A and B are shown apart, each in its own frame.
Chain A
Amino acid sequence: MTGTLTLLRLALRRDRVLLPAWIVVIVGVVVASASAIAELYPQAGQRIALGVTIGAAPALQALTGPVFDASSVGGLTAWRGVAMTSVLAALMSLLTVIRHTRAEEETGRAELVGACAVGRHALAASAVLLAAAANLLIALLITVGLAGQGLPPAGALAFGLAVGGTGWVFTGVALLAAQLTEHARTARAIAAAALGLAFLLRALGDAAKVEMLAWLSPLGWAQRMRAFAGERWWVVALFAVAGAVLVAAAALVARRRDLGSGLVPARPGVTEAAPSLRSPMALAWRLQRGVLLGWSVGFAVVGLLFGALARSVGDIVGDNPQLAAILAAMGGAGALTDTFLAAELGLLGLVAGAYAVQATLRLQGEEAALRAEPVLATAVARRRWILSHLVMALGGSAMVLAAGGLAAGIAHGLRIGDPFGQGGRMLGAALVQVPATWTLAGIAMLLFGLLPRLTVLAWVALLAFALLGQLGELLQLADWVRDLSPFAHVPRALGQPLDLGPLLWLGAVTAALLLAGMTAFQRRDVQGG
């Protein structure tokens, strides 16, 4: 472990902007939500009314988790805030850990460092310390921020620990993932898939009211700490132990492998290229097909699960006379199922936005890794090279959405005896999300062309759109602010005739962004070593 502290200082220096930005966003969202809720819903009666509406929409619960206490400002803040910010803390932790471990090994910088008087596990230890410190700081700041607004300190502390604790567990998840593969990209994919699975288990558990499922997920623990609603303090131990076990497991795996290698040795390849590998498009397909397949399978699984659940959503509510009244006003059980399915598709659209961003930014990855240079030094025009990866980004995001929609429709259709009809209907509804996802590809492309060093802003945009979608209504943000997100313009596709207008102009905006980005790239220098 010699050298851990020196490496920690180096990591802090490298992350001096990024990490504080994460912390500010996470803490800021929590504190701003609490103060907005206190201001917008000052009477307990208003808050309870809001809670009942939420209770009537299990679709919403799938996304945000159950409301344990709608009567207090703290309870409402926790309902909305814990689910969202614990996902953010998990993301922050897994990106930070992989950035400072596997990514360092992949670039060979770890070798440079490892040759110095530095212990074998110092790099991993420094990354874990960094992530742990960031999560602790988040817990502390949330506690202080919420208590500072006059909310009960115990609830504030539980809220902070729930968010920081989730981050700690995913610190361990990421460290383990970083030991398994040679490439940071794959390690990130594994850790992100684990986060997706955690979200899925929690969402299914909450939507179907199966507590057991939710308890399988760290995101479920975060909510079940019941901040501001009779705190369960022992959950803190669950976080601590789970994170520690994962870190220990990672250490065990690390002992069995060499620096730079994964657990599974790379397999030899073929000696000659297939005849089809002869165009930039074929190369882009080759580079991105694995990722696309993974995403498609993931979307199909999510679609199947939620589709299978959709009908039960109507049943659960049907038992409650008070809710049944609200339900009838909303258009009956069928409408409720549609609301649920539409909410699920909205979520898938947002996640498909992440696919579009990462597939577009492959361009930047290839350029920064100096792999664009040899291709562009052959008879491949810059436009063709760009288009090859854009086809993967645009076609791919449509494909994953189609997989999710089709699977949801078929699963739902099988339960109500109409698999083909529902499959087609949901496929169409899923594809309605496509133009909004493409807009994100457009933003990423524009950044790549104009500001290749700042492509991370595409992720910031996605995060901002997600927060606007999640919080905009509750916080009663001005319409124009909420309208900044392309997802705010996606028309309702289920249960009413489709409004094509927004789709067309979203498509036009996207085309303009793509074109501008492509033109900018054709005029700029290709970055060198």
Chain B
Amino acid sequence: MANTPAVLISGLTKHYGTVRALDGLDLTVRTGEVHGFLGPNGSGKTTTLRILLGLLRAGSGHAELLGGDPWRDAVELHRRLAYVPGDVVLWPSLSGGEAIDLLGRLRGGLDPRRKAALLERFDLDPGRKGRAYSKGNRQKVALIAALASDVELLLLDEPTSGLDPLMEAVFREVIGEERARGRTVLLSSHVLSEVEALCDQVTIIRDGRAVQTGTLAELRHLTRITISAELERAPDGLAGLAGVHDLIAEGPRVRCQVDGEHLQAVLRVLTDAGVRTLTCQPATLEELFLRHYQVAA
């Protein structure tokens, strides 16, 4: 059981009419890990989650959820997972407390003590009705409904959008506890610090394809290093070297970005030109993501 991944997607495609939303996506989420799912707007994150929920029919490719077929075995699988949608809409005539109870029961039951604890920690008044909730409070209703059930897998689509920083911190705590209990989480997010704090593994998706996947440490390793140096004379052939990007050279003053694996060759050119000062900076996570997000990159 521990060997079957919670989510296994390979070569998945999905078209909306002529719009290609997924274009050969690969994604593996191992049981017990918190997996960050990142990508620019419209890259296909929500589409992927909705296919996993059997709400959308996959095009070609393979998608497997908790060892089952997300479309065919939807009902059975849904007993074992909880979902927080990207747009939370509540019933105008139902209170938040009723919505939480209802969704939990439809999933097969929820733990009243956990629910009470979560209501307290997220500081939510369950007695309001649909529209009387602010955006953040609607989000909390969906979060509590998902977290109060005893399920194996959590599918969260931008779960902290609209939450204030205090509540975001509570969310991180709670997810940390869930991980400790061995639950698997697939977390789509635009909040990098959240991903950095919570996720064991990260997949970056762009235009419906995974462009990068691995642990954060691995991703960092693949990042570029920013180098700025003052040399004795202008360096020779730096522009032509493999792995050099965004080169700005003003005579002996040089600034550029270098792919990790080409660092040595670049340093050799620089030392040949006589190094006066040299700073090397690994890219921040943010730069890493931005590079993947930019279409031209």
Contacts and interface: CB of A to CB of B under 8 A. Distances in A.
A31 to B, nearest CB: 39
A370 interface: yes
A150 interface: no
A497 interface: no
B97 A278 contact: no
A260 B76 CA distance: 40
Given A267-B129, A273-B101, A381-B74, A373 B55 contact: yes
Binding site secondary structure of chain A: loop
Given A269-B94, A377-B78, A283 B102 contact: yes
A182 interface: yes
Interface in A364-386: 369-371, 373-381
A265 B180 CA distance: 44
Contacts of B106: 278-280, 375, 378-380
A378 B155 CA distance: 12
| Most A CB within 10 A of own CB, among B56, B88, B95, B106 | B106
A373 B107 CA distance: 13
A266 B50 contact: no
Nearest to A269: B95
Nearest to A278: B105
B142 A374 contact: yes
A287 B91 contact: yes
A266 B92 CA distance: 10
| Most B CB within 10 A of own CB, among A287, A376, A378, A523 | A378
Given A377-B53, A525-B57, A268 B127 contact: yes
Interface size class of A (residues with CB under 8 A): 35 or more
Nearest to A384: B75
A451 to B, nearest CB: 14
A525 B91 CA distance: 22
| Most B CB within 10 A of own CB, among A376, A381, A523 | A376
Interface in A109-128: none
B33 to A, nearest CB: 21
A526 interface: yes
A270 interface: yes
A379 B107 contact: yes
A268 B131 CA distance: 11
A280 B91 CA distance: 13
Interface string A504-529: 00000000000000000001111011
A260 B53 CA distance: 33
Contacts of A269: 94-98, 127-129
Contacts of B243: none
Contact of B55 (A273, A277, A377): A377
Contact of A271 (B46, B88, B97, B132): B97
Nearest to A383: B75
Interface string B98-122: 1011110111100000000000000
Interface of B: 46-47, 50, 53-57, 74-76, 78-79, 83, 85-98, 100-103, 105-108, 126-129, 131-132, 142, 145
Given A268-B127, A271-B97, 9 more contacts: A183-B92, A266-B131, A270-B95, A272-B101, A273-B102, A278-B102, A290-B93, A370-B89, A377-B78
22 contacts: A182-B92, A268-B129, A269-B97, A271-B97, A272-B98, A273-B97, A273-B100, A277-B102, A277-B105, A278-B105, A287-B91, A370-B85, A374-B83, A374-B88, A374-B142, A376-B54, A377-B83, A380-B78, A381-B74, A381-B75, A524-B57, A528-B46
